[in-house]
Amino acid sequence: NEAIVPAARVNVLGTLEAAQAARDAGARFVLISSDKAAEPRSVMGATKRMAEMVALSVGGRMFRPVAVRFGNILGSSGSVVEIMLRCVERERPVPVTDPDATRFFMTGEEAASLVMKAAQ
């Protein structure tokens, strides 16, 4: 799959380099991950999960990296809301993976607030 190498470079190796740089500079590090990392079923989910593990592995007594997982952020590109709206506009069926699933949404402000709280 063509997507595997670029995703691994960005999500895994990029996270490793950024976390190491933050550690070396004495900075805080907050990794913004994805709810897809919880039970990875895609390249994106698997590489995000590996990124979390890599970021946390760089930590120690003096450097404590943090990872936050976001699901559906209202107004963000690629969110389930955007996909559903596009289906409605095109008069196509709205995909529902599991009728019993509960979806959670947050605003951009809530997401930013979560990152700031995690960085404390």
36 is annotated as an active-site residue: yes
Q: How far apart are the first and last CA of the chain?
A: 39
What does the alpha-carbon distance between residue 101 and residue 25 come to, in Å, rounded to a whole number? 42
Closest CA to 60 of 20, 96, 118: 20
Q: What dihedral do alpha carbons 20, 22, 24, 28 form, nearest 10°?
A: -130
With beta carbons less than 8 A apart as the criterion, state whether 18 and 10 touch. Answer: no
What does the alpha-carbon distance between residue 77 and residue 22 come to, in Å, rounded to a whole number? 28
Catalytic residue among 18, 19, 36, 55: 36
- Give the single-character DSSP code of 95: P
Known catalytic residues are 36
